[in-house]
Amino acid sequence: MEMLLVSFVEYCATMPDWHKVAWAAVCLSVSWVFEFASPAYIFNYKKIKHIGVNVVFLLTSGITGIVFALLTVSVIAWAGEQRIGLLYSLNLPVWLHFLAGIVLLDVIAQYGVHFLLHKVKWMWRLHMVHHSDTHVDATTGTRHHPGDYLTREIAALFAMLIFGIPIEYYLGYRMITIFFAYFTHANIRLGKLDRILSYIIVTPDMHKFHHHIERPWTDSNFGNILSIWDRMFGTLVYENPQDVRFGLDVLDGSRDMDLVYQYKLPFNGSIKTDQRSGLSFLR
């Protein structure tokens, strides 16, 4: 296992860009196969159009990520050369340093910032675009307003600088999150296996509650890879996934594929940010 992790870290350090694209394509394609074979919900929607809309969000987030990387990669490289960060002071072997980095990025750059995206008003306005999708499937994992995506990247940067996480570890983490972005949003039914896996990782059924139309379920299950954070911080929900309805109760669900409306959504002062606090079947 140690040699495998070391090899993976070395690969991430020299990984060609086309490998990242190919990995994303494989993860998405596999998700589509399972969505066709074992769907959790039967959606009445134009899937091709839905894919196209969410791919546009992927492209704008990608451009944002490239620009941000050009501005920060030299900073992270310099910090690594100077061995700046808490983990460097522990003199950990490469494999343990990598695992520690993955765990820290998961709790800070995903769970932590995701929690704030729901609790800080201006951040929630950015994140509402992701939750506005009324037909959640694998491509919803790529549906982020550029401002939302940038917020997550800034959080990751701070985590890397504070804890001493090299850029190649972050690249490895991104490869893992690509899989989970598609897997957790996929419209698939895993049955009892989903419940079993949810004790370790975030699963499709677990994440469905997070995309429910109303609170309190919207404000639950913030994890990305490991489910331990939601269990540890009391934000876990796992009920009957058939009770989930997608979207947000403060938005016009019929405009979830209106790109102009979606990109302007964070700046639309007429849209309320406070959702209703409960559902009839929870009372």
Tell me the mean pLDDT in the region 196-222.
95
d(CA 93, CA 90): 9
d(CA 202, CA 107): 13
| Residue type, position 66, single letter | I
Tell me the mean pLDDT in the region 162-166.
90
pLDDT tens-digit series, residues 136-145: 999 999 999 9
pLDDT of 277 above 60: no
What pTM did the predictor assign? 0.90
Domain boundaries, the chain: 47-268
Our measurement of the distance from residue 95's CA atom to the centroid of its chain's CA atoms, rounded to an integer in Å, reads: 24
Radius of gyration of the chain (CA): 19
Q: Is the dihedral of CA 267, 269, 271, 272 positive or negative?
A: positive
d(CA 188, CA 34): 6
Q: Is the dihedral of CA 78, 80, 85, 91 positive or negative?
A: negative
pLDDT tens-digit series, residues 96-135: 889 999 999 999 999 999 999 999 999 999 999 999 999 9
d(CA 95, CA 71): 28
End-to-end CA distance of the chain: 48
d(CA 26, CA 158): 30
Our measurement of the distance from residue 152's CA atom to the centroid of its chain's CA atoms, rounded to an integer in Å, reads: 9
d(CA 148, CA 131): 12
pLDDT for position 280: 34
Which is nearest to 77 in space by CA: 198, 189, 160, 140? 160
At how many degrees (to 10) do helices 94-105 and 2-14 cross? 70
